[in-house]
Amino acid sequence: MELRRVASYLFKKPPLYSFELTIRKPAGWPWLTPTEIYDKEKRAIWSGLRLNSGRSVGLKASENKGKLACEIFASSKLTSDERADLRQKLERALGVREDIAGFYKMARRDKVLRKIIRKLWGMREGYWNDLFSALCLAVLLQMAPVKRSMDMMAALLKHYGERLRFDGKTIVLWPRAERIAKAGVAELKRKCNMGYRAKNLKKIAQQIVSGFPTLEELEKLPPQAAKEKLMELYGVGEYSAEMVSVHTSFPLDVWSVQIFAKLLGVKIPSDRDPREYIERVKALAEKRWGKYKGIALVYVLNALPELGLA
């Protein structure tokens, strides 16, 4: 069924804001779902969101004359609760309330960051909107080369994703937890080549379905409590919990710890496991970038060629 336009939101473009860099980051990771469609000429993106009510909506976001316009497509009119939820999710996804001025003030004095902020001028983090979607990505990134992670994601969306047709486009959202909770582990493994991750993702889905805080509820908890709550999910360790959390964090894996070790002057001998250095590198990042460490991580990982680390 083709969804129809049911609402629109207009946000004033804040100072120091790049729409394109926020929704299409140079490193290539998707904004909300891997299947979203971007039209560079029209400065518009077709994507989608899942509301806390359980309803999914199509989203066309575009930039025009100093405004950020969001058109919403759904099967029927939104309730007032859904409209309020949506406004919050759009603000979060577009990063319009992020403290970028404070970050730039600090970055101008930082030897590493000052090299890259000009290139990425106005890029915002743009947080997750849906917990299970973020967890799907986190699980599929575990212990696999990037190509394999991408293949697993494509298969998961193809077989279990939620298809939305609107405004002449079709996009696919990450699967609903309910759908994965009901799927068989063998079937998940076979269709998506997920290996041992199939069992983990199904268990996570079952835990979510049986009652788990939303991202908004996790945001209200202290950062450490939110992280511990996420780590109650089977197959979610420290790295995945930090990656998914909406609190400022600095998730390092075996790949990124090597990048930040180089930038922060930590030598990792070739005969040592880089994972052993994660805590040390995290502590250095905390000391150096403090409350801006999360956005610093996003900037660095989107500027590896400029830093000579690609």
Partner DNA sequence: GCGTCCAGGTCTACC
Partner DNA sequence: GGTAGACCTGGACGC
Tell the residue number behind the tokens 């610093």, with chain if given: 296
CB 298 within 8 Å of CB 116: no
Shortest distance, position 238 Cβ to DNA, whole Å: 5
Nearest Cα neighbor of 229 from 309, 131, 162 is 131
Minimal CA–CA distance to 61: which of 71, 52, 51?
71
Distances in whole angstroms, Cα of residue 260 to Cα of each of 26, 116, 125, 290, 310: 18, 15, 18, 15, 13
Residue 113 Cβ vs DNA, minimum distance, rounded to whole Å: 19
Chain residues in the site for DNA (CB under 7 A): 27, 138, 141-148, 189, 193-197, 199, 231, 233-241, 253-256, 301
Q: Decide whether 22 or 245 has the Cβ nearer to DNA.
A: 245
Task: Please report how close the Cβ of residue 231 comes to DNA at its closest, in angstroms.
Answer: 7
State which residue, 18 or 193, has the beta carbon closest to DNA: 193
Strand partners, 253: none
The CB-of-216 to DNA minimum distance in angstroms stands at 22
d(C-alpha 31, C-alpha 18), whole Å: 14
We find the least distance from the C-beta atom of residue 234 to DNA, in angstroms, to be 5
215 vs 301 by CB, closer to DNA = 301
Rank residues 193 and 214 by Cβ distance to DNA and give the closer one: 193
Shortest CB 115 distance to DNA, Å: 20
Cα–Cα distance measured from residue 267 to residue 199, given in angstroms and rounded to the nearest whole number: 37
Residue in this structure with the two tokens 């609190």, named with its chain if needed: 247
Phi, then psi, of 271 in degrees rounded to 5:
-90, 5
Output 83 or 148, the one with its CB closest to DNA.
148
User: Per DSSP, what are the bridge partners of residue 166?
Assistant: 3, 169
Please identify, using beta-carbon distances, which residue of 47 and 256 lies nearer to DNA. 256
Core vs surface per residue 34-44: b (16+ CB within 10 A) or e: bbbebeeeeeb
| Closer Cβ to DNA, 27 or 84, answer by number | 27
Which residues pair with residue 69 across a beta bridge?
10, 62
**Shortest spacing between CB 101 and DNA, in angstroms:** 27
